[in-house]
Amino acid sequence: MTEPRGSQPAATPGRMSSPDRLDMGARLVTPASGLLLSGALLIVAACLAGSILIRVPVKVQTEGMLITAQGIKEAAADRAGVVHNIRVRAGEHVSAGQVIADIGDAPLLTPYAGTVAELRLNDGDTIERGGAVLALLPDAPLIATVYASTAEGKNIHPGMRVELAPSNFKREEYGFVAGRVLSVAPMPATQESMQRTLGNRQLVQALSAGGPPFEVVVALETDPSTASGVRWSSSRGPAAKLSAGTLCTAAVVIREETVLRLLVPAARRLLPVDPS
């Protein structure tokens, strides 16, 4: 039977493996494809090397307040009586020996110079001898007293690097204030000791809401070339000085880890291994 005109012969194994066919298959891997593959392999290798070599800081977040190195002082009554004619307000600066109120017919003087942090009494209140009329932040170099959670406090040690952000300056604009841990309390703080340090009941309650925290004292790194007198991370800082009584957050760098070491625990959590 004759083969119809124009029809093609059926493919045979011999024809499929002819040199022309093999050459067509080889041309599927073009020079451009090879370059793309090489580039992808280089990117993977660079990512792997970076995950091994690049180290990132592991931080503990804390909160607290800028205070003076002398802490908070109290102007106490030298006699019992009725307080009246209170002459100062919270946030006002006073000089040593300045009259701040009257008790009975006699004036009460403050022995300290500094900024009034809190008035403890109102006009007309009765006070006993030795009772506090006001809390004062003395004129002295600033430090930060911050509080770390019970779980994280034991991981903080003197000398560790601190990134401190005062609440009244935008971190995205000025960066953070550089600091170092001066000391860490050996035991969690009580609310009474926090009150003596901070002089703010509401702040004490907020900072201790999750349990007794550890007190951490931070020294600020100085820089005479800035208006604030401290060193900022990404700029020369604001045109104003830092002041005692300012709330702040502080990230304490407790260690540095490679990216790979940080990713492994996360991968294990996402892809749990069946022990069986």
154 and 134, same structural domain?
no
Select from 234, 232, 209, 235 the least CA-distant residue to 222. 232
Euclidean distance between CA atoms 127 and 63, whole angstroms: 34
83 and 62, same structural domain?
no
90 and 110, same structural domain?
yes
Give the pLDDT confidence of 194-211 residue by residue, as tens digits: 998 988 889 999 999 999
60 and 162, same structural domain?
yes
99 and 155, same structural domain?
no
Q: Which pLDDT score is estimated for 117?
A: 85
Query: What is the domain extent for residue 228?
Result: 56-69+140-260
Q: Which pLDDT score is estimated for 14?
A: 47
Average pLDDT of the chain, as a whole number: 83
Q: Which pLDDT score is estimated for 267?
A: 57
227 and 147, same structural domain?
yes
255 and 196, same structural domain?
yes
Question: Strand, helix or coil at 41?
Answer: helix
Domain count within the chain: 2
Give the pLDDT confidence of 158-191 residue by residue, as tens digits: 999 999 999 999 988 999 999 999 999 999 999 9
185 and 60, same structural domain?
yes
Strands 126-127 and 55-68: unpaired
236 and 119, same structural domain?
no
Last residue of a domain, one of 122, 138, 154: 138
The CATH number assigned to the domain holding 200 equals: 2.40.30.170
pLDDT tens by residue, the chain, 276 residues:
455 554 455 544 444 445 555 455 555 556 666 677 777 777 766 666 655 656 678 899 999 999 988 888 888 999 999 999 999 998 899 999 999 999 999 999 999 999 898 899 899 999 999 999 998 888 888 999 999 999 999 999 999 999 999 999 998 899 999 999 999 999 999 999 999 898 888 999 999 999 999 999 999 999 999 999 999 998 788 988 898 889 999 999 998 776 556 565 655 566 565 555
153 and 200, same structural domain?
yes
**pTM of the entire predicted model:** 0.66
10 lies in a domain? no
Q: Which pLDDT score is estimated for 110?
A: 92
Strands 161-166 and 132-138: unpaired
5 lies in a domain? no
Last residue of a domain, one of 114, 138, 162: 138
Q: Which pLDDT score is estimated for 27?
A: 53
Burial pattern 46-83, b for ≥16 Cβ within 10 A else e, equals: eeeeeeeeeeeeebbebbbbbbbebebbbbbbeeebeb
115 lies in a domain? yes
The CATH number assigned to the domain holding 91 equals: 2.40.50.100
176 and 220, same structural domain?
yes
Last residue of a domain, one of 138, 159, 175: 138
39 lies in a domain? no
Euclidean distance between CA atoms 153 and 63, whole angstroms: 12
Instruction: Find the Cα–Cα–Cα–Cα dihedral 41, 42, 48, 54, rounded to 10°.
Output: -170
Q: Which pLDDT score is estimated for 140?
A: 85
Q: Which pLDDT score is estimated for 243?
A: 87
170 and 235, same structural domain?
yes
